[in-house]
Amino acid sequence: MNERSSLPRHIALILDGNGRWATSRGLPRTKGHEAGSQKVRLAVRACHERKIPVVTLYAFSAANWNRPGEEVGNLMRICREFAEEAHDDLVARGVRVVVVGDIDDEVPTATRKATEKLIADTSDGTSMTLALALNYGGRRDMVSAMRAVAAQARAGLLLPEDIDSHTIRRFLSTSELPDADLVIRTGGEQRLSDFLPFEAAFAELFFTDTLWPDFSEATLDEALAFYARRQRRFGRTDEQVRRTAEI
């Protein structure tokens, strides 16, 4: 695990299992989300210490607005509290925070302002990029990108034959991030749930039954060990990959 080449450049985390963690203990679901928020800080520190360049957290999906109003309100409060309470540590560590998704319309003002302050105050960070997927939906992001591409084509700034995957990528809210190398999902489910469908097309997928509030550095290291064992072919043969590695 000490070899830099064995580490993913971009880890994307789906933080699943907060509610089940709480209900299994006879606690309100909110307590699970609060416990999960503390594990977010642990995960960010652990990734920073392992020199992972980019980490994206699925903090709140666009589909999560369908949850009961009280739970949504608590999730927004927890997002605001994370932005406030993690602020000093992230600044000190040189972690740059960005947001993917749309925080301009539906996200409550207090949460949006706390997040925007965190983004502004960490903008000079160079040790790691932390992307918060807040009010994010992968399909919605792709639709927005396609509308932008269509507008460029209509204005004569793009020819249809010049449109490729790189063109679409430029208009996604994740445009400044590299593609995901490793997606980690806790909680036992084995799906992406509209998380980075374009950007994780070639990602390695690590699923664990561990509920997010039980996430630990050992869980992260297990995922990193899994990644290190994978052969990243990107359509090439085993022999081609081996020859490239020998150069």
Please tell me which residue in 18, 64, 121, 214 is annotated as part of the active site.
Answer: 64
Can you tell me the distance from the alpha carbon of 208 to that of 238, in angstroms, rounded to the nearest whole number? 27
Question: Which residues 6+ apart lie within 8 Å of 236 measured at CB?
Answer: 244
pLDDT recorded at residue 235: 67
Residue 207 φ/ψ region, left for φ over 0, alpha for ψ in the -120 to 50 degree band, beta for the rest: beta
- pLDDT band at residue 243 under the 50/70/90 scheme: low
- pLDDT band at residue 1 under the 50/70/90 scheme: very low
Please tell me which residue in 2, 16, 135, 181 is annotated as part of the active site.
Answer: 16
- In degrees, rounded to 5, the angle at the alpha carbon of residue 206 between the alpha carbons of residues 200 and 208 is 140
What is the per-residue pLDDT across 127-146, written as a single tens digit (0 to 9) for each? 999 999 999 999 999 999 99
Q: Which tops the pLDDT comparison, 20 or 6?
A: 20
What is the per-residue pLDDT across 161-219, written as a single tens digit (0 to 9) for each? 999 999 999 999 999 999 999 999 999 999 999 999 999 999 999 999 999 999 999 99
pLDDT recorded at residue 231: 83
Tell me, yes or no, if 66 is annotated catalytic: no
- Cβ distance 181 to 10 under 8 Å? yes
Evaluate if residue 4 carries a pLDDT over 60. no
Question: Which residues 6+ apart lie within 8 Å of 209 measured at CB?
Answer: 187, 188
Can you tell me the distance from the alpha carbon of 223 to that of 225, in angstroms, rounded to the nearest whole number? 5
Can you tell me the distance from the alpha carbon of 198 to that of 61, in angstroms, rounded to the nearest whole number? 16
Tell me, yes or no, if 64 is annotated catalytic: yes
Residue 84 φ/ψ region, left for φ over 0, alpha for ψ in the -120 to 50 degree band, beta for the rest: alpha
pTM of the entire structure? 0.91
What is the per-residue pLDDT across 55-104, written as a single tens digit (0 to 9) for each? 999 999 999 999 999 999 999 999 999 999 999 999 999 999 999 999 99
